[in-house]
């Protein structure tokens, strides 16, 4: 015959076990959400780099590109040309790309190169 102590778990023990289980599940769900957020941010930055590279190449070639298809139509590109201070034959071409909907998140992508002045 079993004694009273061996008959099963008390309500308090079940409540503590469920609390620990729910904390664990909450932690896993939060970790998963953060993981997806950073994964998406990485994909957007990769697309921004690709877009900035294309704009930079077009600028070097002297072409003004127009892009009106997803996902690039959500990006804004700012092109600047600055003469190099110590060399009169070179100029810095810089392309800064950011999201129109969120200019600071993810951080803007900046791609630059030098070209010979015409």
Residue 2 has pLDDT above 60, yes or no: no
- 43-77 pLDDT per residue, tens: 989 999 999 999 999 988 888 888 777 778 889 89
- For residue 4, being part of any structural domain is answered with no
- For residue 25, being part of any structural domain is answered with yes
- For residue 76, being part of any structural domain is answered with yes
Total domains in the chain come to: 1
What integer pLDDT is reported at residue 6 of this predicted model?
67
CA atoms within 13 A on the CB side of 88: 0
- For residue 70, being part of any structural domain is answered with yes
- For residue 3, being part of any structural domain is answered with no
What integer pLDDT is reported at residue 79 of this predicted model?
92
- 80-107 pLDDT per residue, tens: 999 988 888 999 999 999 998 887 788 8
H/E stretch holding 77: strand 75-83
Please state whether the predicted TM-score (pTM) of the whole model is above 0.95.
no
- 16-25 pLDDT per residue, tens: 999 999 999 9
- For residue 100, being part of any structural domain is answered with yes
User: Distance between CA 83 and CA 89 in Å, rounded?
Assistant: 8
- For residue 1, being part of any structural domain is answered with no
- For residue 2, being part of any structural domain is answered with no
Contact of 60 with 113, CB cutoff 8 Å: yes
Which range of residues forms the domain containing residue 104?
9-116
């Amino acid at each position: 015959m079993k004694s009273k102590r061996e008959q099963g778990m008390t309500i308090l023990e079940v409540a503590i076990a469920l609390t620990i289980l729910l904390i664990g599940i909450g932690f896993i769900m939060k970790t998963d959400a953060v993981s997806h957020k950073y994964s998406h941010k990485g994909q957007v930055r990769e697309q921004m780099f690709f877009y900035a590279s294309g704009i930079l190449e077009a600028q070097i070639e002297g072409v003004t590109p127009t892009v009106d298809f997803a996902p690039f139509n959500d990006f804004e590109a700012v092109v600047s040309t600055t003469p190099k201070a110590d060399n009169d034959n070179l100029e810095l071409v810089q392309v800064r790309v950011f999201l129109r909907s969120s200019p600071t998140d993810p951080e803007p992508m900046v791609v630059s190169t030098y070209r010979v002045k015409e």
